[in-house]
Structure 1
Amino acid sequence: MDNFIVSARKYRPATFDTVVGQQHITVTLKNAIKNNQLAQAFLFCGPRGVGKTTCARILAKTINCGHLTADVEACGECDSCKSFQNGNSFSIHELDAASNNSVDDIRNLIDQVRIPPQTGKYKIYIIDEVHMLSQAAFNAFLKTLEEPPSYAIFILATTEKHKILPTILSRCQIFDFNRIKVADMANHLASIATKEGVSYDTDGLHVIAQKADGGLRDALSMFDQIVSFSNKQVTYQSVIDNLNILDYDYYFRLTDAVIKEDSPSALLILDEILSHGFDGSHFISGLGSHFRDLLVAKEPATLKLLDTSDTIRQRYLRQSHAISSGLLLSALNIANQCEVNYRTSKNQRLQVELALLKMCHIASAIQLAKNGSATIVAEKKKPSESVIPANTPVQPVAGAIPVQATAAEVPAAIVSPPQSSVSSPPSPIIERSSPATGQPSPTTQNSRSWGKVKLSNAIPDLNTIFDDKQAVVQADEPELLTGDEREPFSHDDLLKHWHAFADKLKADNKINLFTLMTANPPQLLADYQIGVVVENPIQQDLLNASKIDILNELRFKLRNFAVNLVPKQVANDAARKPYTAQEKYQAMAAKNPALDTLRKAFNLGLE
């Protein structure tokens, strides 16, 4: 026990080359030393355990080394290096700003700076957790930091860069440390395990690296803990048991249940997870990450984004081929929505169970919704059946979904509360108002039965899965105003009312029509004809669809019912920017053909 040293201290890097995952910083510092271009003050910032203080110590030791190696590393043999390693160097000083954060502490430091180094070329001050200094201490430190003696170098380290005064930041050369990648961390743990004679499997080391969240010191602490727990046998099972991590296998089994639409198995797996003491929020968050990893695994170009071992990566590859991208995106959206609602839910377990049931019945819900939309479209094509006289008994329209359906058609878990008439497809059964109240009569209320769930003007809560725009019944087109008035008007009068109407469209969020009306000024032609410039067929269709509304506004404001709109096509050789989503996509795909390959691989569409 007397000789035991934790791995974070025992294997702390002593040279730039042994620093893990921060090559962009170590290379810069080595070049600065080599070219004798050292700044007066450095600021190392980044999350905990990524090597800030370690790099500060290596930099300080290397600067004062008397015999640098050919690759700009400290020799470790000169008097300066040995005194630093023994902790008795007179030229390198470390200050913990968390416990020495007062003005007096900084004044003492400033007094020491005035004394030249006794050994070595530079006098170096490492101030750790510098953001803990008080406001007065920062102010006292400013002048010395801006104009230090030629032999003084300050190396500041912090985890909270935003708490440091801008006046301090402007006087420092700032280095941002990255979170260490999972692969780099796992390789470092493997090398330590080999040196310590510890048996391991790569899956277990990857789990430790993922749990550390980019901090190598955290990873080494967990590694020491598991080595003690497992008696020097770091296996995947020992890691998940000791760190209380949810096994990958649960997520793979649950995804198989979603693919097979096996909701009972999904609920049983959830019960097993909760019985082991895991939180529902932790589970649903991990499930969302699992779906994300499956999406990543479907495309070879994005496979490198999987931070897992080779064994787990092969499982992701196999399962990603068994599930469609559309189902994955829908399930991912449901998981994300469940995670958002989890904290505020009074019955949190039910919130997770409901999400799992929705996932298990996505395919059947899509099919039912499509069938319902097809029925509505068919009914719109039969105008003779869309109107029923008031004295005629209401009958179901042919092809409507029967009131008594089998329980297997759609489960209750995916049914949403009644939606508004704008977003919900109307029932095939016609409503009739009561003469006394004007409300729908109870005998003719919109109703359908999906399984054993009776719906009233409701659709499945799957607005993220399919587009139900076809189910929206368009309102009747407005009528064109006519009259005998022919009040003359000028081009300025036209522009005044034209732009006023365009501003009204913008306020109503009709951006496409607003753009059409304001992109080019209207032209006043003979016989009160107004020329409107259209740049593409989409704008032509938009003008035709909105022509009556524009004319009604202009005829009323200008008091001239002879006003008419005439589309004017732009010249064929005129260069124009892509306008529609389709044109924009084609322009982007022409520059980067890989975009079209990605769209086809994920079966994506344009909105």
Structure 2
Amino acid sequence: MTSESDSPDDLSFGLGLEEPPQPQKAAAAAQPYRVLARKYRPQSFEELIGQDAMVQTLGNAIRRDRLAHAFLMTGVRGVGKTSTARLIAKALNCIGPDGQGGPTISPCNVCEPCRAIAEGRHIDVVEMDAASHTGVDDVREIIEAVRYAAVSARYKIYIIDEVHMLSKNAFNALLKTLEEPPAHVKFLFATTEVNKVPITVLSRCQRFDLRRIPAEKLAEHFADVSRQEGVEVEPEALALIARAAEGSARDGLSILDQAIAHGAGGVTADQVRTMLGLSDRGAIRGLLGLLLAGDARGALAALKSQYELGVEPSAVLRGLLESVHGITRAKVGGSDDRALSAEERDAYATWSGGLSYAAIHRLWQLLLKGLSEVNSAPMPLEAAEMALLRVIHAAEMPDPGALLERLANGEAVSLQGRAAAAAPPAPPEAQGAASEASAELARSPQAASEPPPWEEAPAPATAAAAAEPAGPPRAPASYKDLVEALALNGKPHLAQQLHDFCGVIRYAPPEIAIRPVKPMSGDLIRELGAALHKLTGETWQVSAEDGPAEPTLLEQEKMAAEQERQDVLDSPLIKAAFEAFPGAELTGYTLDEQRSA
């Protein structure tokens, strides 16, 4: 006889054998890992975030028994199109825990139809991927099957994902059935490119445009998922993931899944930046402060530092664009973005107070053009450096409207030092980043002696030039001399216009009146006044009038040339030559040549 202690189980324990695995434990150990995007797929309309308008419409339609026979869900990837289609299928076929329920906007997720639809095994809910079933034969199977009633559900439902991938013939084959389907059939379409769906199909469906999910709601959703997973994630890291998701819950959950695997028991903002190749927002604000201060060397050093940390130049420029956009929103008094840190909001408020709208818009356009060049350039880092230098030197230029006004008034305009004088004070953290970026270059022995390579060194002044006092320039003696002086002093195009198309009415420096012989640009008078002020140092009164004027200089030259030709033809020697050689022509002959002969 064997006692209870001598049972086979006890003997096995006594021999030191391991306990055989229990069936439930073995099944749990064998279950593969499910990614967060699948694990946290919404199972009810309450869990569907960011689509309140659609949920309200569907709820009212179900309560009032005004259900359409075809629904079309459209939107960007990851906003819940397929999930919404499955939720609608559950809402229409739910029978409740007691088996007596009807269509409801709040499916129970307990009854057999709800569980079968959630697990993708319900015989009356057919999902088809139009990307791999594009032909007429695939649609013909649906047309043949809709004639038969549902096997176990209230409605037979066909979910066609990426419906825009169906061929033209397949769409045409589906039209008649889609317009007048049997009462027990519902069609649910999902697509990311609704513009590719024929209008004949759109007109037969009730369309729902699923919106991008706001970053704030995504961050809250990701925080809830992190709590359920037992992972600590920094709020700033959640904000970064929500921004990178661009309104897509699936994309954000995939990034969060990767970030959890990347971290060691927790997820920090620095880990997310490293994983996504994002630039440190503090470093971006420091770089923007250097740009606004006109510190070219410091800006290049800051860009190089980010590049050495593995940040792509295009990511740096995108970060700068985001900062400029934040400054603009702060200037117009936009609502605070909760995804921004307190430091960012303070920095944007400080900069917005010192930058005009024109300066902000010009900065945006320059950075946007720079980003386009970086994305297409064979050398992205070099293209980014040139883009930043263009931003700095464009900032040194005065506003175009103010410049034209000053030139029209004959005022001298100096471009030196305007950027540094007009730049708003940088926030403390940006000033610290600027000093750190400049310190690296300051250690170089050439930093204090050599000018930057993009600036021209001033020409050395000669002793004679220093000794000779510079007197005020004198006005040209005649209109012809004035035109020649303009051509020699950097205004050849203006001189050509005055020479060919303008006759002088009155020339009494510092006053000139001209009469254009053809329509001219309205900027001619303004440009001439500015050029004359620069040439003579005086403010000229320039006007265009319709009174009698001398012929243009071009017309005078033509008349002089014709008179000279006539003088040559009237000379006795030329007349004798024509008489001796009938049919001869006069070419290349001048009056001076005749006299020398």
Q: TM-score, normalised by structure 1?
A: 0.62
Aligned counterpart for 1:239 among listed residues 258, 272, 277 = 272
- CA gap of 1:77–1:265, structure 2 versus 1, over 3 A, is same
Tell me what 2:259 maps to.
226
Aligned residues: 432
Alignment partners' CA distance in 1, 2:387 and 2:142? 59
Secondary structure in structure 2 of the residue aligned to 1:153 = strand
Tell me what 2:345 maps to.
314
Is 2:159–2:189's contact at 8 Å kept on the other side of the alignment? yes
Tell me what 2:503 maps to.
none
**CA deviation profile, 1:359-382 (whole Å, cap 9, x unmatched):** 445665439997997587357xxx
1:228 aligned partner, one-letter code: A
**CA deviation profile, 1:579-600 (whole Å, cap 9, x unmatched):** xxxxxxxxxxxxxxxxxxxxxx
Tell me what 1:121 maps to.
154
Secondary structure in structure 2 of the residue aligned to 1:36 = coil
- CA gap of 1:99–1:337, structure 2 versus 1, over 3 A, is closer
Aligned counterpart for 1:47 among listed residues 50, 72, 76 = 76
- CA gap of 1:341–1:310, structure 2 versus 1, over 3 A, is closer
- CA gap of 1:375–1:147, structure 2 versus 1, over 3 A, is closer
Tell me what 2:489 maps to.
445
- CA gap of 1:370–1:163, structure 2 versus 1, over 3 A, is closer
Alignment partners' CA distance in 2, 1:206 and 1:124? 38
Aligned counterpart for 1:11 among listed residues 40, 53, 57 = 40
* Structure 1, 285-294 or 20-29: larger mean CA deviation: 285-294
- CA gap of 1:433–1:282, structure 2 versus 1, over 3 A, is farther
Tell me what 1:352 maps to.
384
Is 1:226–1:238's contact at 8 Å kept on the other side of the alignment? yes
Tell me what 2:371 maps to.
339
Secondary structure in structure 2 of the residue aligned to 1:55 = helix
- The percent identity for this pair of structures is 32
Secondary structure in structure 2 of the residue aligned to 1:124 = strand
**1:117: Cα distance to partner?**
1.2
Is 2:86–2:117's contact at 8 Å kept on the other side of the alignment? no
2:211 aligned partner, one-letter code: N
1:240-255 paired onto structure 2 within 5 Å? 240-255=273-288
**1:274: Cα distance to partner?**
2.7
State yes or no: 1:324 paired with 2:355: yes
1:206-225 paired onto structure 2 within 5 Å? 206-225=239-258
**1:297: Cα distance to partner?**
1.9
Structure 1 spans left out of the alignment, 5+ residues? 380-398, 416-426, 448-455, 458-472, 481-503, 511-544, 550-607
**1:123: Cα distance to partner?**
1.1
Aligned counterpart for 1:297 among listed residues 330, 351, 355 = 330
- CA gap of 1:357–1:294, structure 2 versus 1, over 3 A, is same
2:159 aligned partner, one-letter code: I
Aligned counterpart for 2:225 among listed residues 150, 169, 192 = 192
Tell me what 1:163 maps to.
196
Is 2:277–2:312's contact at 8 Å kept on the other side of the alignment? no
Secondary structure in structure 2 of the residue aligned to 1:174 = strand
**1:250: Cα distance to partner?**
2.1
Tell me what 1:63 maps to.
92
Alignment partners' CA distance in 2, 1:169 and 1:321? 46
Aligned counterpart for 2:183 among listed residues 134, 150, 166 = 150
Alignment partners' CA distance in 2, 1:270 and 1:430? 50
Secondary structure in structure 2 of the residue aligned to 1:87 = coil
Secondary structure in structure 2 of the residue aligned to 1:127 = strand
**1:163: Cα distance to partner?**
1.4
Alignment partners' CA distance in 1, 2:139 and 2:455? 64
State yes or no: 1:84 paired with 2:117: yes
Secondary structure in structure 1 of the residue aligned to 2:409 = helix
2:215 aligned partner, one-letter code: V
Secondary structure in structure 2 of the residue aligned to 1:303 = coil
RMSD: 4.4
**1:258: Cα distance to partner?**
2.7
Alignment partners' CA distance in 1, 2:70 and 2:473? 76
2:356 aligned partner, one-letter code: S
Secondary structure in structure 1 of the residue aligned to 2:186 = strand
Q: RCO (CA 8 Å, sep 6+): is it higher in 1 or 2? A: 2
Alignment partners' CA distance in 1, 2:511 and 2:207? 60
- CA gap of 1:122–1:261, structure 2 versus 1, over 3 A, is same
- CA gap of 1:364–1:129, structure 2 versus 1, over 3 A, is closer
Secondary structure in structure 2 of the residue aligned to 1:214 = coil
Is 1:297–1:316's contact at 8 Å kept on the other side of the alignment? no
**CA deviation profile, 1:233-280 (whole Å, cap 9, x unmatched):** 111101001111122122100122134332211110111223334443
Is 1:94–1:125's contact at 8 Å kept on the other side of the alignment? yes
Alignment partners' CA distance in 2, 1:46 and 1:474? 67
- CA gap of 1:33–1:232, structure 2 versus 1, over 3 A, is farther
Alignment partners' CA distance in 2, 1:234 and 1:51? 26
**1:299: Cα distance to partner?**
3.7
Q: TM-score, normalised by structure 2?
A: 0.63
- CA gap of 1:370–1:299, structure 2 versus 1, over 3 A, is closer
Secondary structure in structure 1 of the residue aligned to 2:335 = helix
Structure 2 spans left out of the alignment, 5+ residues? 1-28, 422-450, 457-471, 495-509, 524-542, 548-597
1:47 aligned partner, one-letter code: V
Secondary structure in structure 2 of the residue aligned to 1:366 = coil
- CA gap of 1:177–1:307, structure 2 versus 1, over 3 A, is farther
Secondary structure in structure 1 of the residue aligned to 2:72 = strand
State yes or no: 1:268 paired with 2:301: yes
